[in-house]
Amino acid sequence: MLPQVNAKRLAETFTTLCEIYSPSRKEGEVAAHLTALFRDELHPTAIYEDDSAARTGSDCGNLIFSFAGDPQRTPLFFNCHMDTVTPCDNVKVRFDGASFTSAGDTILGADDKAGIAMLIEMMRVLRETSTPHAPLELIFTTCEEIGLLGAKNLDYGKIKAAMGLALDSAGVDVVVVGAPAANRFTLTIRGVAAHAGLHPEQGVSAIQLASQAIAGLDLGRLDDESTANIGLISGGTATNIIPEQVLLHGEVRSHCDDKLQQYTDRIEWRFRETIDSWRDNNPGAPALPPMDWKVCKEYPSVKFDQNEPLLALLNRAATALDRPITHRISGGGSDANIFNGHGLKTAILGIGMAKVHTTDESIAINDMIRTTELIISIATS
Ligand SMILES: [Zn+2]
């Protein structure tokens, strides 16, 4: 028999968290709130704030709250991010008896404060019922929404558990067991500036070169596990100047590392090939400066095989509640990608949040209770 979740307390904790202002890089207030709450009420064996703030630009570091548990059980961690997307000024939580929303002019912040509230409720329940549980670490990161910066700069040496769950996905009783790796690229195409009316033959349009290359690219869904996008483009200075430069930003994602590399290389090749053939076809034209191409590995993929011990633990925990768990593959990246890249086996658990990153964001109290029951079952399995 699992200890009972206190629904009213869970709702209050969640509301309080949502109404604390915490966009990316300004998580300090919510971090201070959590530190005081854990220190005064839940008495972790260790409270640690890392020194990532200097590198992320946040006003606080990542937080780790450690709880000693039954040494016979496998240590586990749970992770949530403390930051929210915007608009998040003066969030006012509305509750109609079933679901939480914002007043309509801001996001709600269930992404990811619903997860944080569930972890607080879990620790309260475990503590007041003295239920034996695994050694636990709760990891709260900064700057997830602006490029997983907190996770990328987390002090991994402090984490003892080798596996855990990120509470940061839609759905209930759903676990994400696969997520793609991503490359981000920046590209500068250079032409030659000239007066467009007086000396057009002295110029080469960077906009035209870029357009020719882009027209020959495969973008969007490339296959059942890969996507590509050029999301930003800028260039040119005036209508009477042949544009000298175009700047492009894009990304490639794939669940397969080889394909990620191949598709990224193919985009680079297409731009180089367009410029080379333009040179070949215009031998008398002004010389073209070289293009600039930069790729950075944004995050590695998440991939679990079916006999992963973490999934077995999850199944056991769900079975104890008489529920099935659905496995899902995601198209997005999150802190879990970075954790897995550091050797921490991290699956992503659905927490019931819906329409995230919009002012229609919502979450149902029943889904929050359900997920809290599940994580209690996981921690005590
Ligand atoms: Zn999130």
Q: So what's the pLDDT on residue 309?
A: 95
The long-range contacts involving 194-200, CB below 8 angstroms and separated by at least 24 positions, are: 194/241, 194/242, 195/240, 195/241, 195/242, 196/239, 196/240, 196/241, 196/242, 197/240, 200/242
What fold does the segment set 181-299 form as a domain? Alpha-Beta Plaits (3.30.70)
8 Å CB contact between 16 and 91: no
277 pLDDT band (50/70/90 cuts)? Answer: very high
Ligand 1 centroid – CA 81 distance (Å): 7
Place of tokens 């035209």: 208
Ligand 1 centroid – CA 168 distance (Å): 5
Instruction: Give the pLDDT confidence of 246-263 residue by residue, as tens digits.
Output: 999 999 999 999 999 999
Q: What are phi and psi of 232, to 5 degrees?
A: -140, 140
Query: Above 80 in pLDDT, residue 1?
Result: no
Ligand 1 centroid – CA 84 distance (Å): 8
Ligand 1 centroid – CA 69 distance (Å): 28
Query: Above 90 in pLDDT, residue 286?
Result: no
Instruction: Give the pLDDT confidence of 101-160 residue by residue, as tens digits.
Output: 999 999 999 999 999 999 999 999 999 999 999 999 999 999 999 999 999 999 999 999
Ligand 1 centroid – CA 134 distance (Å): 25
Q: So what's the pLDDT on residue 159?
A: 97
Residue positions counted in the chain: 381
Ligand 1 centroid – CA 334 distance (Å): 7
Task: Report the mean per-residue pLDDT for the chain.
Answer: 96
Spell out the domain ranges in the chain: 7-179+301-380, 181-299
Q: So what's the pLDDT on residue 285?
A: 85
Short-list 118, 168, 110, 145, CA closest to 330: 168
Tell me which residues are annotated as active site: 83, 144
Ligand 1 centroid – CA 173 distance (Å): 17
Range 7-179+301-380 has CATH code 3.40.630.10: yes
Ligand 1 centroid – CA 10 distance (Å): 19
d(CA 130, CA 100): 30
Short-list 299, 294, 219, CA closest to 263: 219
Query: For a pLDDT cut of 70, what percent of the chain falls above it?
Result: 100
Ligand 1 centroid – CA 159 distance (Å): 21
